[in-house]
Structure 1
Amino acid sequence: MHYLLAVLSAFSSSVTSVLGKYSFNIGATVSQILFLRFLFSFIISGMIFIFAGYKFHFKKFLLFSILGIINYGIAAYAFFVGLQYLNPAYATVIYFTNPIFVSILQTKTTKKKLNIINASAVALSFVGVVIANIGERAFENNKSMMFGTLIILFSAFVNAVFIVSVSEYIKEKNSNPFENAFYTFTGTFIYYFIFIIRNNEVNSLSSKFLLSGFILAVLATFVPLTLNFIALKKLQSHTLSLLMPLELVFASILSGVFMHEPFNVLKILGLMMVGLAPIIDITNVESQTSY
């Protein structure tokens, strides 16, 4: 069940790069996109928080606000900056180097070690990203592509820090996914609200940005984060990080359909390898629990 939730999270989140690229095409800036995304996320999660009768806990709010700013204020901002220079599917491929970062950080912060099969799944994911990178260079090979790649690699690392950090708090008995999501989005919304005011970007906000901002809030933010919070109750952080790259398979399909993004044999092979990595990891987990 928790694996299915993680896969549904990846499917829902796959609209991120396509909608982000679309938002740039209609004139939105990075901070405007993210402000609208978290404005709507804050409203949706706030309504659930109020109607469910949750009580506000300042310490939890402070904790998840900080974690939210790390993931959505730094990692998401870097991803959208890099997206300006790359095709949506390729940007997603680069972003999902994060299983490697998660695995390294997890072994450094916990006593849990990766076995040979776990490590092989991470390695397969990494090789898939490299092959997809080579395939993408057949279409575009310039300095802006390298800059975009480095920015999104940084985004992937920061996201890995978020996953490893939040996973320990999520497993606590009194941890509620919807309550945590509200605190996360509230802190991130406040962050971007201050951000666009300081950058004088409020007056240039356009009503034509609202639809993509709303869809990003629902499909790319509220739904996947909540599902991931639920999934982390049972899954290890490195397992979730290996399931998350399934998003790039869905993103590639969307990019091909709506953005007419080109593909070749190497790029498809890379996508398949990244998609195969979580299957290997899950099979290993299931075989261990069956004994």
Structure 2
Amino acid sequence: MKHDTIRADDGELLQVHLMGSGTPILLLHGWTSNHAAWSPLLEPLGENYRLLRPDARGHSGQPLTVNQAPDVKRLARDVINLLDFYGIERIAAVGHSMGALTLWQCLRDVGTDRFSHLAFIDQSPKLLTDATWQNGIYGNFDSAHAQRLLDDLGTDFPEAVLRLIALGLNSKARETYLRNSSGWRAAREALNRIDPAPAIAIWQSLVAADYRDVLPKIDVPTLLAYGTASNFYTADTAHFVASQIPAARLSFYDGADHCPHLLQPDRFAAELTELLNQ
């Protein structure tokens, strides 16, 4: 296991955790998470691949010194800076939640030239819903709902994030949240260690984004992993994404929430390995 600190092209310091050797795989975590979220995949993947797990800026636990209000475009630029730092011309990349949105922004900015294979985990290309789009968060996360959440984030950031996760489409998450199980207590403690201002700025940029036009331009082997009990998305979202990406493989994880790759890490690792062999 190795830890590097690299400097982005705007001067901000970024944290990257590395493990293994061989073909490199970039693992991009979700919003309010960090590199440690990928821990269940280290054993099934680490023996055969070189795993790069960066902390998105604002998520490493270290204060930002350059820009207190980063956005998804900056996160995507950080990915390209990382590849340049390690001299990686092309890489297989996996994005979960915010990580998927970050990869879609990368594809908008630079195309697929830097990516040999892609995997997107339980994400919609457009979070906000309206009269013409119901495949965003919950199927009914409209601008009014988004503003209420933004207000809540400013008032009590940790609890607002937990409610976003818990009070959605997954009934088990709702039940365990309402009885304040140990997992939710641990998540609350972790969220208390995050600086809210940069995280909220990133969230606002994610909600404003729309990557539906990017999907048809993806011309590399692609894996899509979705949970059938996702906190945020129905099967319609997954099928839409699959229909837009040429030759994408869609894989549903029965009973899984927003993190299907963590519920069944061996299965996800096997599917990713199969993708990389294409």
TM-score by length of structure 2 reads 0.27
TM-score by length of structure 1 reads 0.26
Higher-Rg structure is 1
More relative contact order, 1 or 2 (CA 8 Å, 6+ apart): 1
Pick the structure with more helix per residue.
1
